[in-house]
Amino acid sequence: MSSDRATVSIVKGALFESPFEYSEKDLRTVREMIERSLDLIGGLRQAIGSAGTVVVKPNLVEVPFEGTAGSVVTDARVLEALVGILKDYGVKRVLVAEGKSVNLKHVESGPRQAFEALGLGDVIRRAGGEILGWDEGEFVAVDVPGGELYRTINVPRSILDADAFISVPKLKTHCQTEVTVGMKSMQGVFSVDDKVNFHNEAFPWKMVDMLRVAKPHVTIVDGLICGEGYGPIYTEPVEMNLIVSSTDVVAIDAVCSAIMGIDPFDVPITRLGHTEGIGIGDLARIDVCGESIDSVMKHFKRAGEWNPIGSSDRIRVFAGGACRFCLAQIGAAVTRLRYEGKLDGLDDICVIIGHNAPSPVRDYKNVFIIGDCARDTDIEGTFIGGCPPLPSVQIVRAFEKHLKED
Ligand code: SF4
C-alpha cells in the first residue's frame, strides 16, 4: 500500500571505541541504536515479516585508503550488531552480500576478498551470518515495469530468492552524485560489467530502474563515522554517531542529505526517485522521529574538486562540453595523487576532456585525452577511453608515469 507520507528515524548514541577495535561495550550501544531506530519506524516485523532468509548489503566500495579512518565502508559494529539482531529475531540465513566494485574490476580480488581484508568476514561469521560476493553467483534478467533505461535488468539471484533485502549504506558525500546513501548504494547490486554502463549523467535513471525491481525492505544507514569531502573513496571522517532507518529509500536519502546540510532536491538522484514515485523525497512529507534533523545536522564539506580545473598547476585541465562524471574522474585522480604525495612531482601534464575541447597554444610534455567524446580532438596525446573512463585509478597510474626525475 503506498502512502503519501514516509517515516525516518534518527538515533544518536555515545560510542567510545573504533570500527577496527571494539568491545562488547560499543557493540551493545550500536545494537541498541539499531533496535531503537527500527522500533521507531514500526519494528522489524512490519519491515521484513517472518523472513527466513535475509540479504544484507553493506557498502564496500573499495579497500579504504590510509587516512580515511572508518569513513568509507560500512562499520563493522553496525554489521555485527545487525546480523545479531536478525538471528535473534529468528532469521535462519543472513547473507551479507556485496558486488564487485569497478575499482576492483582490473584486479583479481572481489568482494569476498574485500570482506576478509577488512576483517568483516570474521565479524559477520561470529554473529551467525554468511558472506557472499555477488560476482560469484548468478544474475537473473528480470522485467522492469515502467523502466526507462532498461526493459530487463540483471539482479543477483540471492536477492530474488531471499525473503527480505536490507541495505546498510554509509553516510557520505560523493564527487559525482553529491551524496551516497541508500539510492546510490544500489550500484553495488549490478554486476561489475553492468556497473560500467550508464556511469554518467544517466546514472540517476539507472538507480531508479534498479529500485523498481529490487527495493530494500528497509535501509539502515551507518552514520557512526561519516565521510565528507571527496567521497566515495577519499573521504575525511566526521564522527556523528548516528543510525538512520526507513522503509523508504528516497526519504532516508532526503533526510540524510539534510543531516549533511545539503538540500535533498539539490541531489538529482533523490529528486528523480521522488518524481518517479520510488519514494518520498520532500521533507515536508517525511515524519522524522527520534532526534530531529536540526539537532544532529552538520554542514559537510562537499567534493568541490569534482571540477578539477585549477586544482593543481601540475595537471592543467582543458574542458569542452564535459560532464560532471568525467570531470570527477580527473578530480579523483588529482585527489589520490595528493593523498599519495605524488602530485607535486608530476611533470607538465595537460588534460583534454569533453566534446569540442579547446587545445592549448603552448606545447605540453605530456598530453592526455580523456573520455570517448574527446577522442576526435586534433591535439596528439595519450587517449584514455570510456564514458567516463573507469576506474579513476587507471588515470592515476597513467599520470604517475610522468613523475619528474630529481
Ligand atoms: S566521455 Fe564525454 S560524454 Fe562521456 S562522461 Fe565523459 S565528458 Fe561526458
- How many angstroms does the Cα of residue 351 sit away from the middle of ligand 1? 14
- How many angstroms does the Cα of residue 95 sit away from the middle of ligand 1? 37
Contacts of 353 (CB under 8 A, 6+ apart): 317, 318, 319, 320, 322, 326, 327, 330, 369, 370, 371, 374
Q: Where in the chain is the domain with CATH 3.40.50.11440?
A: 6-296
- How many angstroms does the Cα of residue 263 sit away from the middle of ligand 1? 26
Question: Ligand 1 pocket test: which of 372, 383, 392 has the largest number of ligand atoms within 8 Å of its C-beta?
Answer: 372
Buried b (16+ CB within 10 A) or exposed e, 80-105: bbbbbbbbebebebbbbbbbbbbbbb
The answer to whether the CB of 350 falls within 8 A of the CB of 366 is: yes
**CA dihedral over 118, 119, 123, 128, signed as positive or negative:** positive
**Beta carbon of 388 within 6 Å of any ligand 1 atom:** yes
Cα(173)–Cα(178) distance, integer angstroms: 6
Cα(38)–Cα(246) distance, integer angstroms: 8
Q: pLDDT by residue for the chain (406 residues), tens digit each?
A: 457 999 999 999 999 999 999 999 999 999 999 999 999 999 999 999 999 999 999 999 887 877 788 999 999 999 999 999 999 999 999 999 999 877 654 456 788 988 998 899 999 999 999 999 999 999 999 999 999 999 999 999 999 999 999 999 999 999 999 999 999 999 999 998 899 899 999 999 999 999 999 999 999 999 999 999 999 999 999 999 999 999 999 999 999 999 999 999 999 999 999 999 999 999 999 999 999 999 999 999 999 899 999 999 999 999 999 999 999 999 999 999 998 999 999 999 999 999 999 999 999 999 999 999 999 999 999 999 999 999 899 999 999 999 987 5
The answer to whether the CB of 244 falls within 8 A of the CB of 7 is: no
Which atom of ligand 1 approaches the CA of 322 most closely? 7
Cα(155)–Cα(37) distance, integer angstroms: 28
- How many angstroms does the Cα of residue 143 sit away from the middle of ligand 1? 28
- Look at residue 244 in the predicted model and tell me its pLDDT: 98
Cα(272)–Cα(268) distance, integer angstroms: 6
- How many angstroms does the Cα of residue 363 sit away from the middle of ligand 1? 24
Question: Could you tell me the three cell numbers for 256?
Answer: 540524510
Task: Give backbone dihedrals phi and psi of 69, rounded to 5 degrees, phi first.
Answer: 25, 75
The full DSSP string for 88-121 is HHT-SEEEEEE---GGGTTSS--HHHHHHHTTHH
Rounded to two decimals, what is the model's pTM? Answer: 0.95
Cα–Cα distances in angstroms (integers) from residue 314 to residues 148, 191, 207, 370, 391, in the given order = 41, 36, 36, 16, 21
Q: Where are the beta strands (DSSP E) in 192-328?
A: 218-230, 234-246, 286-290, 315-319
Cα(252)–Cα(285) distance, integer angstroms: 12
Second CATH level (architecture) for the domain 305-402: 3-Layer(aba) Sandwich (3.40)
Cα(106)–Cα(194) distance, integer angstroms: 15
**Beta carbon of 198 within 6 Å of any ligand 1 atom:** no
- How many angstroms does the Cα of residue 193 sit away from the middle of ligand 1? 18
- How many angstroms does the Cα of residue 295 sit away from the middle of ligand 1? 40
- Look at residue 103 in the predicted model and tell me its pLDDT: 67
Nearest CA to ligand 1 atom 2: 373
Beta-sheet strand order (sheet of 366-370): 315-319, 349-353, 366-370, 382-384
Task: Give backbone dihedrals phi and psi of 145, rounded to 5 degrees, phi first.
Answer: -65, 125
Buried b (16+ CB within 10 A) or exposed e, 197-225: ebbbeebbbbbbbbbbbbbbbbbbbbbbb
**Which residue, among 228, 264, 216, 220, has the nearest Cα to 40 in the 3D structure?**
220
- Look at residue 104 in the predicted model and tell me its pLDDT: 56
**Beta carbon of 389 within 6 Å of any ligand 1 atom:** no
- Look at residue 110 in the predicted model and tell me its pLDDT: 85
**Beta carbon of 290 within 6 Å of any ligand 1 atom:** no
Q: At what angle do helices 76-89 and 24-40 cross, to 10 degrees?
A: 60
- Look at residue 214 in the predicted model and tell me its pLDDT: 98
**Which residue, among 253, 24, 210, has the nearest Cα to 126 in the 3D structure?**
24
111 prior amide bond cis, ω within 30: no
Nearest CA to ligand 1 atom 8: 323
Nearest CA to ligand 1 atom 4: 387
- Look at residue 241 in the predicted model and tell me its pLDDT: 98
Second CATH level (architecture) for the domain 6-296: 3-Layer(aba) Sandwich (3.40)
Residues in the chain: 406
Cα–Cα distances in angstroms (integers) from residue 256 to residues 162, 339, 354, 368, 384, in the given order = 27, 27, 32, 38, 35
- Look at residue 97 in the predicted model and tell me its pLDDT: 97
Tell me the three-class secondary structure of 50-63, residue by residue.
Answer: CCCEEEEEECCCCC
- Look at residue 108 in the predicted model and tell me its pLDDT: 64
Q: How would you classify residue 119: left for phi > 0, otherwise alpha for psi between -120 and 50, otherwise beta?
A: left
Cα(82)–Cα(115) distance, integer angstroms: 16
